[in-house]
Amino acid sequence: MSVKYTLPKALYFILACFFLGIPPVGPTAGFSSEPVPQDLTKITTPAGISLFVEIADTVDKRAQGLMFRKSLAADRGMLFIFPEMGNYTFWMKNTLIPLDILWMDESGNILHVESHVPICTKKDDSCPRYYSHRESMYVLELPSGRAKELALTPGTRLSLGIHGRQTSPYP
């Protein structure tokens, strides 16, 4: 007696995509295929999606931010860390890629999201300013549209792997 094994059609599709090198769609689309440099910090969403961010924790790093960058992979970003809770304002002067900007409290709870913040091509200092009406300790910049794709809304708590300590309510 011989046994015939069959795979579900969806599995054939997934395997075919994998072997043909077809990129994924959805929350993982656009992720960098490059290895994650050790100087990046991992942030995890409640859905288990990992984002790898540069840390801006000094006055100079916060002032530079993502200015003059020409691209940013979907799984990359920048986390601004402030020494205390406060009202922190951001602008897009000299920033060449549109972003989503998320303000968070000391526990990683998202307080406010500015989505699809456009670049500013003005040469003077009249670029629009973006801010939260609530005090924050962290601000996360991601490629434009990622907050919506990952369902990152006010009230969502992110796991921030900062300086060896986690702010996560989940493993």
Please list the pLDDT of the chain residue by residue as tens digits (171 residues).
Answer: 444 444 444 434 444 434 444 444 444 444 455 555 678 999 999 999 999 999 999 999 999 999 999 999 999 999 999 999 999 999 999 999 999 999 999 999 999 999 999 999 999 999 999 999 999 999 999 999 999 999 999 999 999 998 544 444 433
- Residue 135 has a pLDDT of 98
* Alpha-carbon 59 to chain mean position: 21
Given a contact cutoff of 8 angstroms between Cβ atoms, the answer to whether 81 and 107 are in contact is no
Prediction pTM value: 0.76
- Residue 162 has a pLDDT of 84
- Determine the Cα angle at 99 with ends 22 and 154, to 5°: 100
